[in-house]
Amino acid sequence: MKKLAIILIIAMLLVACGNNNTEVVNNVAVDLTNVDEAINDTEETTETDVEETEVTEETDAEEIEVTEETDAEETEVTEETEETEETDATEETDATEETDATEETDATEEAEEVVEPVDYTANISKPYDDVDYTPFEKVESYESNPAIEVKGIYVTAHTAALDRMDDIIELINTTELNAVVIDVKNDSGYTLFYSEAAEEYVPDANNYVQIKDMEAFMKKLKDNNIYTIARIVTFKSPLYAVKYPDRAITYKGSDQVYYADGAYWASPFDENLWKYNVAIAKEAVEYGFNEVQFDYVRFPAVKSSVKKNLDFGNPDNHSWTYAIQNFVKYAQSEISPMEAYIALDVFGWTATTINDSGIGQHWEGMSNVADYMCPMVYPSHYGPNIFGLPVPDAAPYKTVYNAMLDSQERNANIETPAKLRPWLQAFTAKWVKGYIPYGTTEIRAQIQACEDLGINDYIFWNPGNNYNKNWFEQEQ
Q: pTM value?
A: 0.77
Question: Angle at CA 156, nearest 5°, toward 153 and 161?
Answer: 115
pLDDT in tens, the chain (476 residues): 444 444 444 444 433 444 444 343 333 333 333 434 433 443 333 333 333 433 334 434 343 343 344 343 443 434 444 444 444 444 444 444 444 545 555 555 555 566 778 999 999 999 999 999 999 999 999 999 999 999 999 999 999 999 999 999 999 999 999 999 999 999 999 999 999 999 999 999 999 999 999 999 999 999 999 999 999 999 999 999 999 999 999 999 999 999 998 999 999 999 999 999 999 999 999 999 999 999 999 999 999 999 999 999 999 999 999 999 999 999 999 999 999 999 999 999 999 999 999 999 999 999 999 999 999 999 999 999 999 999 999 999 999 999 999 999 999 999 999 999 999 999 999 999 999 999 999 999 999 999 999 999 999 999 999 999 999 999 86
Closest to 292 measured CA to CA, from 346, 345, 219, 368: 345
In sequence order, the β-bridge partners of residue 248 are: 266
* Cα 461 from Cα 66, distance rounded (Å): 115
Domain ranges of the chain: 2-112, 151-471
- Are the C-beta atoms of 342 and 292 separated by less than 8 Å? yes
Q: Which residues contact 139 (CB under 8 A, 6 or more apart)?
A: 336, 339, 371
Q: What is the CATH number of domain 151-471?
A: 3.20.20.80
- Are the C-beta atoms of 349 and 357 separated by less than 8 Å? yes
* Cα 441 from Cα 305, distance rounded (Å): 43
